[in-house]
Amino acid sequence: MELPPLQFSDIKIFRQHLASGFQRYSTVQNAFYLGAQAATSGMAFLAGYQNAIRCLDVNCPSDELAAFCVSEKGVKKPWDMATRLSVSDDGYLLDGKKGYVMLLPGELDRMYVVAKNDKDQLGCLYVLANTAGISTTDALAAPFVEDIPHSGVCFDKVKIPADQVFDIDGHQQANKPFRYWEDVHVALSMMGWMSRELLGRQQSFDGLDDMVQLICQLIEQYEEHPDYYCLESLLLLDKSHEIMDNYSQNLSEESKILWLKDRLLLQMGQKMRHLVRAKMVN
């Protein structure tokens, strides 16, 4: 495995390479390649996350940075969300708050928001970050990706044109599958980052072949099952987290500190994946 020609830690440079990557690679390939160029595990996470967004909306412009907005303070179940999308004379109005939005303030172009409609059903829409009525608030506490800005967001009678509202179930077709898309793309980008970090310290390392094989298997499995988890993808995700934990011991001290914080992102979905596996087995 050869080292990629670039490392980036600047979001503006990342934006340029994200856009060019979409012209050459699939989202999973782009996640790995950008992750392998990232200077930090936080930037690697951003690489995986931005590629996962394109699974939600294939029409998201390649040079825009986007965020998927779901979390609300004190809300644990999607159907308890307070953010609402109501019909207005010339489209819709969006009101509510989301607790953790990556790249706010300053770097975000658009947000994909899950909200309740007038029928109390969850829907999904997108809104440009500079739209009138949007303001930032304090973010929910999070001890990871400290090098990526984040904030809470408040929507106050934000006008949403009808063509920015997706004709989908906001939970079943956005929130639920996004967990899968994010899991796979972030695992690949993180393995890309860790491979580069380890190879940067030495020409090779024990387990390199195993990691490369796992990366290839996860890409192939995703291409066969792009919509949601299957038992094989769940197994490969578990293996990817395990192999990264094992070889993180060989990282530099600086990179190891970053990994120990940012690995929490990978662990957050573990309980949910166990529940998904249990349902599939039964």
Per-residue pLDDT band for 109 (boundaries 50, 70, 90) equals very high
91 & 131 share domain: yes
Residue 61 lies inside a defined structural domain of this protein? no
Averaged over 158-163, what is the pLDDT? 97
> Is pLDDT of 1 > 60?
no
Which of 131, 153, 169 marks a domain boundary?
A: 169
Q: Which two tokens stand for residue 81?
A: 């969300």
71 & 142 share domain: yes
The pTM (predicted TM-score) of the whole model is 0.94
Residue 218 lies inside a defined structural domain of this protein? yes
Q: How many independent structural domains does the chain possess?
A: 2
Per-residue pLDDT band for 3 (boundaries 50, 70, 90) equals low
Which residue, 28, 25, 31, 36, is CA-closest to 3? 36
Averaged over 121-144, what is the pLDDT? 89
Determine the pLDDT at residue 5.
54
The secondary structure of the chain in percent helix, strand, coil, rounded to multiples of 5, reads 50, 20, 30
Domain range for 90: 66-169
Which of 149, 169, 189 marks a domain boundary?
A: 169
178 & 153 share domain: no
179 & 266 share domain: yes
Residue 90: which CATH number? 2.40.110.10
98/78: higher pLDDT: 98
